[in-house]
Chains A and B, each alone.
Chain A
Amino acid sequence: MSDSALDKARKRTGKMTGAEAIIRSLEAEDVTICWGIPGGAILPLYDAFMRCDHSIQHVLVRHEQGAGHMAQGYARATGKVGVCIATSGPGATNLVTPIADAFLDSTPLVAITGQVPTHLIGTDAFQEADITGIVMPIVKHSFLVQRVEDIPRAIHEAFHIASTGRPGPVLVDIPKDLQQAEFEFAYPEQVELPGYSAEFPDVPASIAAAATLIAQSKRPIIYVGGGVINAEASEDLILFAETLQAPVTTTLLAKGAFPDSHPLSVQMPGMHGSKYANWAIHRSDLLITIGARFDDRVTGKLDAFAPGAKVIHFDIDPAEISKNRRADVTLLGDLKRTLPALREAVVETKNAERIANQRDWLTDVQDWRKENPFRYMKGEKLKPQYIVEQFDRALKGKDAIWVTGVGQHQMWAAQFLSIDGPRRWLTSGGLGTMGFGVPAAIGAQQGCPDAYVVNFDGDGCFQMTSQELATAICYDVPVIHAVMNNGWLGMVRQWQELFHDERFSETNLFGTIPDFVKLAEAYGCLGLRAETEAEVDAVIEQAIAERRPTVIDFRIDHDEKVYPMVPAGAASHEMIDQVWDNDWVEEGV
């Protein structure tokens, strides 16, 4: 919306129903698109969508989980708040998974749910579920609106809370009778939240202490999490890293926050991260942690993680400081302030001298990197890593957004894609939600219509949310869903093979998987298939050229595993790997 239109929306007053007030409030928050499904308790809102003049596009999805993940994909690709809508009871409970996902991955999401009329609350009425109670541990905040006059304020505060500080999901539950009631609308100018602040005072002493730790460090490493993306601080990070000349490792959530192709990048740490990232962390004497939270998939055995390192921790959330790993110096607040502040302080120290002294460190890291790239063995069967590489090549230089499901395919994509900008890699990290890919990719594409959006999905994941292909067709959303079809719940199979004596309990999907090409066609999508390397480029090219909703069924080697790997509970530098012969392919980062 233009600034003047937005200003007008915020100044609007007049008599209206609660339902219209929801729409006017969304307009005042500059919402242009939202996702949902109607039902009894939210009917007045849907009626108002049709009755009122407004500028919001409502996308009708096929399952509320899809609405939630689409809103998430949109939010993460654009940086704006994603909005999803559901009716009471089952509609609201279907949003639980995306809400939990948004909570763990700090995604700004506002969920609006209808609730049974106020006089029926607490009576086990038809489609009544205590949704604010259900989501309590997985939201940043929630509102159960009790008076129609409170609707604008609740929505205003919901957007404020969802989008500031550490972003997260906020649920606004609105009883049906309040949607129908009339009142005098006015949009609040300010929020009244005495218990909430996302502002932190500058602490010059901490900046000085951090600069001193850096000056004393011989083996620093910068450990970057998704916070950098939420703070829009990628440029500041690049300048900071270049000033320090320290290697940079980006977590699964942070992929793209620092360019994969940058000479200082050591890519992903953790369970399926690079050997050189994990080794560099292990040997480092200073861990400069920026918007990351020492997740167990990154640290492995916590006591053995970066055992010789002091820790500088930048974060916007005080509760992350010293939660899992004690911080020696804390820098709280907006990275756009703290990163440049520390950089300036570092420039004031004898930085050039320090860089000269740490030359061996950088050489060591570069050598590890050269000798231990992500790699895979060629064979007769189609290798998933090859498909990722070919997609990466095909879209080089174009604006591409990469989305994934959860499993082996997710890790192969994380390892073999080279992504150089923020908000171009969307994956479910904290919750690890199978089914995230299809809807998140659709939402991302709707937020970025000119980008090429590719969803690397698994055959298991794809079947969890493939109904949203119908949504893609209805709204003409040309995502390419590249299904890595290995006939297995592959990641679980990998654990069974390695740690459970090959007892493949309930992980074989083979023979029960529908024909994905026919499925695609049934929805009206383009359906393609590749079974050998030779066929890969042609299907990729065709999918990119046709630019319509597309599913590609890649029949990959079901025996392929994700390596290297830190077994659960092991120290992060103790990675297992397969035995290589000479027939491996080096990744060209």
Chain B
Amino acid sequence: MATPGHHTLSVLVENRPGVLSRVSGLFSRRGFNIESLAVGPTERADRSVITIRVDCTRHSVEQVVKQLDKLIDVIDVLEVAPDSAIERELLLIKVKADAEHRLEIMRMAEVFNARVVDAGATTLLLECVEHPDRLAALEELLSPYEIVEAVRTGRVAMTRASIANEAARPKLNILG
């Protein structure tokens, strides 16, 4: 119970002013560190999903979920289990790529389903949408060529379509 671990929370919120600061503020106030956070619209214009990655103990994550659920603008909170969900993140990365290494880098990109979205005289800009672990691996492989700039969106997640569940967002049991 006391060992920390990574948890991905999918927080469905009403699109009201200040909702993002309410959610993120709760983490800092209760002493939890956010590793990554991604916000975006959903299938409904009046709702957004905030996907948050935290590193904390099971007991802490239960507290966080309950405290989030108390926020009036939060409609529900889902802890996304890695094996029952698809998790993705977008990486944009600019690498030094002189004539000698250019092809090598592009081949490596292919293996990772990354695309070259722009090219300069000495650099390449790659884009990759993948599981965050794969993005980390790609970054690692590219690092010897010198990474000029890299930016990631933070992960988003959704429970798998193959898992039979009528509800799009199966309710988390916070009552037990």
Contacts and interface: CB of A to CB of B under 8 A. Distances in A.
A121 to B, nearest CB: 11
Contacts of B22: 136
A332 interface: yes
Interface stretch (B65-73, B85-93, B108-116, B142-150): B65-73
Given A144-B17, A203-B175, A323-B63, A194 B75 contact: yes
A283 interface: no
Contacts of A136: 18, 21-22, 25
Nearest to B19: A195
Nearest to B75: A195
8 contacts: A141-B72, A144-B18, A146-B17, A194-B14, A195-B13, A195-B71, A195-B76, A330-B175
B74 interface: yes
Nearest to B29: A137
Interface in B1-39: 13-14, 17-18, 21-22, 25-26, 29
B63 A195 contact: no
A338 to B, nearest CB: 13
Nearest to A317: B70
A195 B72 contact: yes
B18 A318 contact: no
Interface in A129-166: 132-133, 136-137, 140-142, 144, 146, 161
Nearest to B17: A144
A193 B66 contact: no
B5 to A, nearest CB: 18
Interface string A193-204: 111100010010
A356 interface: no
Interface in A523-551: none
Interface of A: 132-133, 136-137, 140-142, 144, 146, 161, 193-196, 200, 203, 317-319, 321-323, 330, 332
Nearest to B76: A195
Contacts of B72: 140-141, 161, 193, 195-196
B14 A318 contact: no
A565 to B, nearest CB: 29
A141 B17 CA distance: 12
A318 B63 contact: no
B133 interface: no
Contact of A319 (B13, B66, B74): B66
Contact of B73 (A195, A200, A203, A323): A195
Nearest to B66: A319
Contact of B67 (A133, A161, A319, A330): A319
B25 to A, nearest CB: 5
B18 to A, nearest CB: 6
A510 B101 CA distance: 81
B69 to A, nearest CB: 7
Interface of B: 13-14, 17-18, 21-22, 25-26, 29, 59, 62-63, 66-67, 69-76, 174-176
Given A136-B22, A195-B73, A195-B75, A318 B17 contact: no
A161 B63 CA distance: 21
Contacts of B69: 318-319
A137 B25 contact: yes
Contact of A318 (B21, B59, B73, B174): B174
A146 B16 CA distance: 11
A132 B71 CA distance: 14
A146 B17 CA distance: 10
Nearest to B28: A137
A496 B74 CA distance: 45
A96 B26 CA distance: 18
Contacts of B59: 322
Most central of B17, B70, B73, B74 by chain A CB within 10 Å: B70
A322 B62 contact: yes
Contact of B175 (A133, A141, A332): A332
Contacts of B66: 318-319, 321
Contacts of A319: 63, 66-67, 69-70
Nearest to B62: A322
B97 to A, nearest CB: 43
A71 B17 CA distance: 28
Given A137-B29, A146-B17, A319-B70, 5 more contacts: A137-B25, A144-B17, A195-B71, A319-B63, A330-B176
B7 to A, nearest CB: 17
B66 to A, nearest CB: 4
Nearest to A320: B66
6 cross-chain pairs, A with B, having the tightest CB-CB distances, nearest first? A319-B66, A141-B72, A195-B75, A137-B29, A196-B72, A195-B74
B14 to A, nearest CB: 6
Given A136-B25, A144-B18, A318-B66, A200 B74 contact: no
A53 B66 CA distance: 45
Nearest to A140: B72
Contacts of B62: 322
A193 B72 CA distance: 7
B19 to A, nearest CB: 10
A195 B66 CA distance: 13
A133, A161, A200 — most chain B CB neighbours (10 Å): A133
A132 B18 contact: yes
A318 B71 CA distance: 12
Contacts of B74: 195
A154 to B, nearest CB: 11
A319 B26 CA distance: 13
B175 A318 contact: yes
Contacts of A193: 72
A200 B29 contact: no
